[in-house]
Amino acid sequence: MSFLSRLLDVRPEHRHPVRVRRDLVIPAADGVRLLADRHFPADVERPPLVLLRSPYGRGNALDQLPALLAERGYQVLYQSLRGTAGSGGDFDGFTIDPADADGTLTWLRRQPWFGDRLATWGASYLGYAQWELAAREIPEWKIAVIQDAPAEFAHRFMYPGGAFALGNALGWVQIVDRMFTGGYSTIRQLPAMAGAARKLRRATLTLPLDEADLTLIGHRVPWHLHLGGRLSLEPPGDDSQPSRYRYDPGDPTPTVGGTAVGLSAGRKDNRRIEARPDVLTFTSDPLPRDTDVIGPVRVRLHARSSIPYVDYFARLCDVSPRGRSTNLCDGIVRLGEPGDVRTADIELWPLAHRFVRGHRIRLQVAGGAHPRFGRNPGTGEAPVAARELRPSSHEIFHDPDRSSAIWLPVFSGAS
């Protein structure tokens, strides 16, 4: 009898002998290999199936959950989401890749032991995985038991009443990081629990707030610019050198399109601008699926300039398979305080856009966007009185200690 049955004193009327098949390989719709365990009663042919999708590992204490169901006559497919517990790909927080469920359903329908009846069950993240599943028409799906996972994830969990649920967010980061670094072993996680509450409290008081993850777990939660113009979820390498450009207000970086007043506003092809030596571009790999971005966009640059009086302009673009780079939103910040490596936080306009599968995400970085924004003369003088123009050299850093990045509000469909 399972531990949970004894603990909760819910002994089944008839206990079925349980068998387990470990590490079943399930191809996601984009080819990523996902792993799952199948728990099933040995004395029942094609019993009803309960699908559990989780980032919390398999072969640990959580195996008691499928065991509880299997001894009652159900078979359970207990799957690890991508980037967790041996499944391929990258884990991306509360953004659940739809290719996981699409491939799993296709694979499941081909299995001789699947009896065309499907249920789902689970709390917290297992509940959010059920909401993501609900984006599809699944005739075999008969019942969903969702616990502690409100459908309005953003407004009910992360921003209830408009306030950021800091403790929830950091508490979850702490728990997941402890599981990942502990190999999903409950025993290995126990030493890390000592002092966990103290670390969490210290992290919640960190200023600025976007460094709270570093205080809590000792490393950044990634979103990143890379040497060579690459934009990726992967953290930068230790040997990453800065990207460089030179800005000359005598030949200011021009701009096309955007939220300007006039007939030149709107979405335009940016390839001519991006070909200039005073414009840096950071571009993602082709997207394996449609990706919806809805909400505020921001960029943080760790930058060194040869003079203190500089502007940093950032623009987000959608790059088609044929190479057309179309502007979506942008923003600019002006710096005037002296310093070595300074932080430029740029608020871009909010966005609601679908990056279609096969397209790429591109970030432009430049020293200005003329004539939409008046050029920075580089002298510290008021722009209306400046008579001198001073060029400047720039370095944009993207190493582990100075990780420049863009934050995109990716909509997963679960909130």
Q: Give Cβ neighbours of residue 321 (< 8 Å, ≥ 6 apart).
A: 286, 358, 359
Q: What is the pLDDT of residue 118?
A: 94
What share of the chain in percent tops pLDDT 70?
87
Q: What one-letter code names the amino acid at 393?
A: S
Q: What is the pLDDT of residue 173?
A: 76
Q: What is the pLDDT of residue 47?
A: 94
Q: Could you give the CA distance from residue 54 to residue 81 in angstroms, rounded to a whole number?
A: 6
Nearest to 367 by CA among 297, 407, 315: 315
Q: Could you give the CA distance from residue 324 to residue 90 in angstroms, rounded to a whole number?
A: 28
Nearest to 223 by CA among 334, 117, 325, 297: 297
Q: Which ranges in 235-388 belong to alpha helices (H)?
A: 271-274
130: tokens are 């059920």
Q: Do the beta carbons of residue 227 and residue 221 sit within 8 Å?
A: no
Q: Do the beta carbons of residue 380 and residue 308 sit within 8 Å?
A: yes
Q: Could you give the CA distance from residue 308 to residue 337 in angstroms, rounded to a whole number?
A: 6
Question: Rounded to 5 degrees, what are φ and ψ at 232?
Answer: -155, 160
- State pLDDT tens for residues 88-112: 887 877 778 888 999 999 999 999 9
3-state helix, strand, coil in the chain (%, to 5): 20, 35, 45
Residue 279: beta bridge partners? 366
> In whole numbers, what is the pLDDT of the chain averaged over residues?
85
Q: What is the pLDDT of residue 252?
A: 94
Q: What is the pLDDT of residue 204?
A: 78
First-to-final CA distance of the chain: 37
Q: Could you give the CA distance from residue 357 to residue 121 in angstroms, rounded to a whole number?
A: 31
Q: What is the pLDDT of residue 56?
A: 87
Residue 302: beta bridge partners? 343, 397
Burial of residue 327 (CB within 10 Å: 0-12, 13-18, 19+) is buried
Question: Bigger pLDDT: 81 or 190?
Answer: 81
Cα separations in angstroms, 329 against 41, 168, 351 = 55, 30, 7
- State pLDDT tens for residues 129-181: 999 898 888 999 999 999 888 777 666 777 777 787 777 777 777 777 776 66
- What is the sign of the dihedral through the CA atoms of 127, 186, 167 and 84? negative
Tell me, what DSSP letter sits at residue 237? P
- State pLDDT tens for residues 178-194: 766 666 665 555 565 66
- pLDDT beyond 90 at 27: yes
Chain mean position to CA 367: 28
Burial of residue 187 (CB within 10 Å: 0-12, 13-18, 19+) is exposed
Cα separations in angstroms, 150 against 159, 262, 268, 300, 412 = 12, 44, 40, 31, 14
Q: Do the beta carbons of residue 323 and residue 368 sit within 8 Å?
A: no
- State pLDDT tens for residues 310-344: 999 999 999 999 999 999 999 999 999 888 999 99
Q: What is the pLDDT of residue 169?
A: 76
Total-model pTM: 0.54
Transcribe 190-216 into DSSP letters: HHHHTTHHHHHHHHHT-SSGGGHHHHH
Give residue 355's pLDDT band: very low, low, confident or very high (50, 70, 90): very high
Whether residue 235 is preceded by a cis peptide bond, meaning omega within 30 degrees of 0, is no
Nearest to 122 by CA among 35, 39, 52: 52
- pLDDT beyond 60 at 415: no
- State pLDDT tens for residues 230-288: 888 777 776 678 999 999 999 999 989 988 777 778 899 999 999 999 999 999 999 99
Q: What is the pLDDT of residue 152?
A: 72
Q: At what angle do helices 186-193 and 166-181 cross, to 10 degrees?
A: 130
Q: Do the beta carbons of residue 172 and residue 200 sit within 8 Å?
A: no
Q: What is the pLDDT of residue 124?
A: 86
- What is the bridge-based pairing of β-strands 75-80 and 49-54? parallel
Transcribe 257-274 into DSSP letters: SBS-SSTT-B--B-HHHH
- Return the SS3 of 102: helix
